[in-house]
Amino acid sequence: MAALAAQGKRPEQVRWIVVTHAHLDHAAGASALVAACPNATLLAHPRAAKHLIQPGKLIASATAVYGAERFRELYGSIAPVAAERVRALDDGESFPLGDATLTVHHTAGHANHHFVVDDPALDTVYTGDTFGLVYPALQARGRFAIPSTSPTNFDAALALKSIDKVLSLGRKWVALTHFDAYEDATAIATQLARFIDRAGTWVADAARGAETQAELVARFESAWRKAISEEAPWFGVAEKKLLELDVDLNAQGLAVAVEAKRRGPRERVG
């Protein structure tokens, strides 16, 4: 709202509210924005749209990940969005913005309800979590990018395919929700692929075992810390502390992926 005001625009002028996926660190404010912008339509992946219209399962899933107290602290209350205010976009579908035409591309791997937004007018792809996390505070001694494998739909092969899709668009900038816009997309993709290759191997190996969920999370936390140290041996205590939440969430996501792999593809979460 402050950004709109700074540009001399009113909430009534907002046409689109776009969410790359329904994870709450990206979409928890969607219902509040829809309420504040009476003429806006919420654009989302078809699988994400249904969770924004009926957020009960999303709230329950996030509460299980964060705990009830932390969930309330982070996200407060989340209201359903009226179905008539939501438009689901298929893979390759476009929408106009001023003189530009923006196109979405479905990108599974991080989440099955994810798309990226290609903006040729600004030579930019808005990547959500498809293109990993590049924290500005960790870039002082070279590029450091890490994928998000948080619960519940991580798939290494699909994640790599989606990264290739972003690169294939050939845009100058990749704009990451976490955080900023970068020109060195190939360098980011290369490092992400190394992490994802490791994670895919960890999941495949663990799926052949019988470790409990808690044991899997502990195993994967250790594996992530080791991999981070291999990729950025110069990181000190402060840098590693900044990544602790991601280590925890990434480990939980891989543990869920192991359980899904053990059950077989027909029972995987949609």
pLDDT for res 265: 65
What pLDDT shows up at residue 58?
82
pLDDT band at 86 (very low <50, low <70, confident <90, very high): very high
Q: What is the pLDDT of residues 124-183, one digit of tens each?
A: 999 999 999 999 999 999 999 999 999 889 999 999 999 999 999 999 999 999 999 999
Q: Name the nearest CA neighbour of 116 among 105, 100, 129, 108.
A: 105
Look at residue 55 and tell me whether its pLDDT is greater than 70: yes
At residue 260, what is the residue type? A
Percent of the chain with pLDDT over 70: 98
Average pLDDT, the chain: 94
pTM exceeds 0.75 for this model: yes
Using CA atoms, how far residue 11 sits from 52, 101, 145, 233, in Å, is 20, 21, 35, 47
Burial class (CB in 10 A: 0-12, 13-18, 19+), 165: middle
**Confidence at residue 62, expressed as pLDDT on a 0 to 100 scale:** 81
pLDDT tier at 269, thresholds 50, 70, 90 = very low
Q: 167-185: per-residue pLDDT in tens? A: 999 999 999 999 999 999 9
Q: Quick one: which of 161, 193, 174, 87 has its CA closest to 134?
A: 174
pLDDT at residue number 74: 86
Q: Enumerate the domain spans of the chain.
A: 1-88, 91-270
Question: Closest Cα partner for 63 from 151, 168, 149, 132?
Answer: 151
pLDDT band of residue 266 (cuts 50, 70, 90) is low
Q: Cα angle at 153 between 151 and 156, to 5 degrees?
A: 110
CB 221 within 8 A of CB 247: yes
C-alpha span between 147 and 134 (Å, rounded): 9
Edge-first strand order for the sheet with 16-18 is 16-18, 41-44, 86-88
Q: 197-237 pLDDT, tens per residue?
A: 999 999 999 999 999 999 999 999 999 999 999 999 999 99
Q: Distance between CA 121 and CA 100 in Å, rounded?
A: 6
**117 three-state secondary structure:** strand
**Domain 91-270 annotated CATH 3.60.15.10:** yes
Q: Which residue has the tokens 């191997």?
A: 201
**pLDDT band, residue 264 (cuts 50/70/90):** confident
